[in-house]
């Protein structure tokens, strides 16, 4: 295997920075691995397993120097949702199914990367992704409630979670609740106040920020100590067998997996888009670039590895990656070293986690996903185009109402429909001449001169089946308002394509106008469109002419021999 | 009730023309009513019932003077397909279900008309409609094979029909087969050779055409006589009870109907679009106009009436309407009189139809639907844009493979995807100045002058989530090829909308370019787009400026103080 380019060009000066960053990564990976395994409905061990080999493999192929791939909120949530219909988290085959999802979604991404399908990332609009992530974050928050209240309840939809809580209302564990509230208060306080406090105590802002970011590990450790010391009656991680992750083919019910293929496909696609957009954000800061297809391959390999080492779907975590960068990571070596530390911990120190309370792990998830709820896109959408805000809200609420996969389909469907709808109601502008110039502008927006026997209309949309009927009706209405018009001039500078339905519509328009003694003329037809129109024979049928520019057309149509000016 | 306008302004001189046309209509309605009832899996009587009250009601509201609404091929086929999964044609409730479909699809169309949903017709492209009609015609042809071979077999998909024939291979009726072949030969000969023969015999071309068009009635009558005379052992229409259609609420299994709602919706939509496009074709010839929403109401009323008088879904028939016109129909009175003749026939002459062989009725369907297979759109699509040819072929083959409803959804999906795909790969043109003018054109298509420090690019598509990534990548590649460029000028004359994802993409582009010391400038921004860009704050962020025209921009960017020229 060829060494990755960052390793071939490794500079010795980067080594201490990567080492420090790797220690920081471990401080994140331990509580996140435990907590996201919990979110995925898995034993804590799976989260630690997923923090070793996948991390190593991403570093070999990934193009982002600081992206931290491993257990993450979105794929864990989507794994729970995918498995909700086929197995209970307590069932024997559940862990094998989660590993199988990682394996299949990894192989899918390898295939997508090999087929250079990275461009698919473009088909999810910002409104859909924004709504989806915010809705998922809300769903994750809701899913933590059973843990905070110390009850055993697992569901993949908002309704299911609420119903589960209602059913277990008499089993709420008050100790867990008090512990959770204390942990939440502490975590929130650290998030808000620790950094300024440390800065005032003399630390550099960067170190202070890093310590504040690492506070969840301290809170979890503190909670573990308190639970052990006082013997508090709350659900705990329990004894984990020491040892490295096993290398094994997931012994899963593959027919059950086949029945949930849309969810597996969604995990592959969303995992990639989420991870890719985090990588892009990091790259933008460092003025680097990431390659979509390489990222697909790297994520595919990481997930395949997670599936073969008793893990579950992994992806990039924004918080962890940002901390890695803040800690000074220079290259992917930070991730590789972190994986080695994790292996050491699994070999020697799993006894440390036995008394960690699940409720407090859930609290760290609550604090982490709060930052995923990004309303800035929604605010922008509300100001810029309310219909996009509807797409955002529809996708977000869809996650809560119908679950992640259906919400994603709904969002994509809504955003495509919005585009179709937008283009099916085209803007038509009657043009007039800007006095003393060769420019022609919308007479409603500019002071411009018109000629009674010529109606010049700019069509502000490509013509296709969904809008040609409306365009014809609008043109007819405009002609009715200008009965002296002998020539209709369509300015096609904004028409990028004309499909067959629109071509047939233009033919009928041309025929209909000719019978009324009005000629149909075209101006500023784009090159590719002109080629198509010529080839279809439409230009030969045209009662009027095609002109290079609006000005040439207006001059010609005002003269006795317009065909002298035609192209 | 207010009289329809054609009746209020009725001219006495039109009366003999409408009378002759009404007789012609009857000559069509009788065999078609019997045959399309057969196609819909219904007793022959339903076809005659559907030729009375629906015809009357269309005339009251319809805007087309010569359109003949009544039993038709497409709705009959779709009724068979819709009911295939819920009842066998021999089952007791089948006829009631067919009537219920007519009723519901009629009420739906009334509602659509009332909501002014006529514009929905625009959402089916010509390729989809063309492929759908051709595929349906092929399916109808296939569905006639059991009748031509004299076996009882009913299926709604091509595969089902072939399997049915295979199962009944030992029951083929040779008498029916010979009778069919003779009838087909005779019908085909009449269609091709009768008109020239009659013209040579001295008839006027118009009358000869009409007689040739009416030949199916003669062939069916002849076959009925032959079967009665020789007592041929073939399936026959049998005794029909005389009497007018009953007025009754369909006694149907409404829960079964609810389970096939997509098919009922498809019948409503397709029936409308098919009928409306026939009406438009007729109107174009007569220089009249038809109103989509009025047509929806008229068809809705006709189908509601069909459902309440033991009929089945009705629609316009192109062949019958064309014959009506050819026979000289001037107004809707021709249809009304035809309905009255049909009522008389039902009262007095049903005994005439007893010995008509089903095989020969099927032959008339074969000859009639052959003309529905219109490959001209396919040929045009192949020349104009092969991808549209794929939409046509996909929809047509989809009808054979998956049935009518799924094929329609497939076609609509394909045509929308095609539009998205087309707009997701936008054409970018580098612009240069046409020497000595203020015009700027694609340097690949025109002899034009460029300036090394300015890269002017016209974007030939609205910018939105599906293409902004590709546009940015292409712009980056173009800038790499012109390293001296200090200004990037985007000419947005063809950009009709910019969605939020594209706005964010432009922001990142602006930021990235600024770091490379290149300014981003805009020219020829459309009014509505400019409003949105201003409001979003993007114009203020822009490292360069927005200019009214490309020429102003090129002059300004070449000078020391470009901001003097900015809008």
A324-375 pLDDT tens trace: 888 888 888 999 999 999 999 999 988 888 889 989 988 988 988 888 888 8
What's the pLDDT at B354? 87
Core vs surface per residue A275-287: b (16+ CB within 10 A) or e: bbbbbbebbeeee
**Cβ–Cβ below 8 Å for A535 and B499:** no
pLDDT surpasses 60 at A1:
no
**ipTM of the modeled complex:** 0.75
SS3 A375: coil
Q: Is A496 on the interface with B (CB under 8 A)?
A: yes
- Give the pLDDT mean for B405-418: 85
Beta bridge partners of B80: none
What's the pLDDT at B2? 63
The rounded distance, in Å, linking the Cα atoms of A146 and A169 is 10
**Cβ–Cβ below 8 Å for A383 and B426:** no
Q: Please name the member of A499, A508, A515 whose beta carbon is closest to the beta carbon of B385.
A: A499
What's the pLDDT at A79? 93
Interface test with A, best of B383, B422, B494 (most A CBs within 10 A): B494
In A, which residues are within 8 Å of B420 by CB distance?
416, 419
Q: Is A416 on the interface with B (CB under 8 A)?
A: yes
B465 vs A161, A330, A412, B468, B470, CA distance in Å? Answer: 34, 33, 11, 6, 10
pLDDT in tens, A42-97: 999 999 999 999 999 998 888 888 899 999 999 999 998 899 888 888 788 899 99
The rounded distance, in Å, linking the Cα atoms of B552 and A59 is 50
What's the pLDDT at B286? 65
Confidence band, pLDDT 50/70/90 cuts, at residue A477: confident
Specify the pTM: 0.74
Closest to A96 in 3D by CA, of A247, A307, A244: A307
B145 vs A71, B176, B345, B365, B404, CA distance in Å? Answer: 61, 11, 30, 11, 19
pLDDT surpasses 60 at A391:
yes
Q: Is B16 on the interface with A (CB under 8 A)?
A: no
Q: Which long-range contacts (CB under 8 A, 24 or more apart) does A470-474 make?
A: A470/A424, A470/A425, A470/A426, A470/B119, A470/B122, A471/A426, A471/A428, A471/A505, A472/A505, A472/A508, A472/A509, A474/A428
| Percentage of residues of chain B with pLDDT beyond 70 | 97
pLDDT in tens, B50-90: 999 999 999 888 888 889 999 999 999 999 889 988 888 87
Higher confidence at residue B214 or residue A166? A166
Mean pLDDT of chain B: 88
**Cβ–Cβ below 8 Å for A122 and B424:** yes
SS3 B440: strand
What's the pLDDT at B459? 93
| Percentage of residues of chain A with pLDDT beyond 70 | 97
The rounded distance, in Å, linking the Cα atoms of A362 and A39 is 8
Taking CA atoms, what residue in A is nearest to B421?
A: A123
C-alpha distance from A562 to closest chain B C-alpha (Å)? 20
Structure token digits, residue B18: 């409408």
What's the pLDDT at A2? 64
A15 vs A64, A206, B212, CA distance in Å? Answer: 17, 19, 94
Q: Is A351 on the interface with B (CB under 8 A)?
A: no
Q: Is B436 on the interface with A (CB under 8 A)?
A: no
Higher confidence at residue B118 or residue B549? B549
Q: Please name the member of A125, A284, A494 whose beta carbon is closest to the beta carbon of B496.
A: A494
Q: Is B469 on the interface with A (CB under 8 A)?
A: yes
Question: Is the CB of residue B342 less than 8 Å from the CB of residue B29?
Answer: yes
Confidence band, pLDDT 50/70/90 cuts, at residue A286: low
In A, which residues are within 8 Å of B383 by CB distance?
535-536
pLDDT surpasses 90 at B547:
yes
pLDDT surpasses 60 at A558:
yes
Closest to B238 in 3D by CA, of B28, B44, B27, B95: B44
């Amino acid at each position: 295997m060829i060494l990755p380019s960052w390793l071939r060009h490794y500079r010795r000066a980067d080594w201490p920075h990567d080492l420090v960053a790797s220690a920081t990564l471990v401080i994140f990976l331990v509580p996140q691995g435990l907590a996201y395994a919990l979110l995925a409905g898995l034993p804590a061990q799976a989260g630690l397993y997923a923090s070793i080999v996948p991390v190593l493999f991403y570093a070999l192929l990934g193009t982002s120097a600081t992206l931290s791939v491993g257990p993450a909120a979105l794929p864990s949530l989507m794994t729970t949702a995918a498995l909700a219909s086929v197995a209970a988290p307590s069932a024997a085959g559940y862990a094998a199914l989660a590993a199988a999802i990682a394996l299949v979604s990894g192989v899918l991404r390898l295939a997508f990367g090999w087929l250079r399908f990275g461009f698919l990332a473009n088909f999810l609009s910002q409104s859909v992704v924004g709504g989806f992530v915010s809705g998922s974050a809300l769903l994750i928050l809701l899913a933590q409630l059973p843990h905070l209240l110390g009850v055993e309840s697992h569901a993949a939809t908002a309704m299911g979670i609420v119903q589960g809580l209602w059913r277990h209302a008499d089993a709420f564990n008050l100790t867990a609740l008090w512990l959770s509230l204390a942990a939440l208060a502490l975590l929130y306080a650290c998030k808000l106040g620790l950094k300024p406090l440390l800065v005032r105590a003399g630390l550099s802002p960067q170190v202070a920020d890093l310590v504040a970011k690492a506070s969840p590990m301290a809170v979890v450790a503190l909670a573990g100590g308190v639970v052990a010391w006082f013997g508090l009656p709350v659900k705990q991680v329990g004894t984990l067998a020491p040892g490295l992750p096993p290398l094994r083919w997931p012994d899963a019910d593959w027919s059950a997996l086949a029945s949930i293929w849309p969810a597996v496909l969604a995990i592959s696609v969303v995992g990639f888009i989420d991870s890719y957009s985090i990588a892009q954000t990091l790259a933008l800061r460092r003025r680097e670039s990431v390659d979509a297809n390489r990222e697909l391959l790297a994520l595919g390999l990481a997930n395949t590895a997670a599936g073969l080492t008793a893990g579950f779907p992994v992806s990039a975590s924004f918080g962890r990656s940002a901390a890695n960068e803040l800690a000074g990571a220079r290259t992917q070596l930070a991730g590789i070293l972190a994986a080695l530390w994790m292996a050491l911990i699994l070999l020697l120190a799993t006894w440390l986690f036995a008394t960690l309370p699940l409720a407090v792990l859930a609290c760290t998830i609550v604090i982490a996903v709060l930052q995923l709820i990004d309303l800035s896109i929604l605010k922008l959408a509300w100001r810029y185009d309310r219909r996009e805000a509807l797409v955002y809200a529809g996708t977000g609420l869809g996650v809560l109402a119908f679950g992640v996969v259906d919400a994603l389909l709904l969002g994509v469907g809504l955003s495509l429909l919005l585009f179709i709808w937008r283009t099916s109601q085209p803007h038509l502008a009657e043009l007039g001449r800007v006095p003393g110039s060769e420019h022609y502008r919308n007479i409603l927006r500019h002071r411009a001169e018109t000629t009674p026997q010529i109606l010049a209309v700019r069509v502000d949309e490509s013509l296709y089946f969904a809008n040609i009927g409306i365009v014809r009706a609008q043109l007819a209405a405009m002609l009715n308002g200008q009965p002296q018009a002998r020539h209709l001039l369509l300015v096609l500078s904004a028409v990028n394509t004309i499909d067959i339905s629109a071509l047939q519509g233009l033919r009928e328009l041309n025929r209909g106008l000719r019978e009324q003694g009005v000629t149909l003329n075209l101006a500023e037809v784009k090159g590719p469109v002109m080629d198509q129109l010529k080839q279809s024979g439409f230009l030969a049928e045209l009662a009027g002419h095609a002109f290079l520019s609006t000005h040439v057309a207006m001059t010609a149509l005002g003269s006795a021999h317009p065909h002298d000016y035609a192209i």
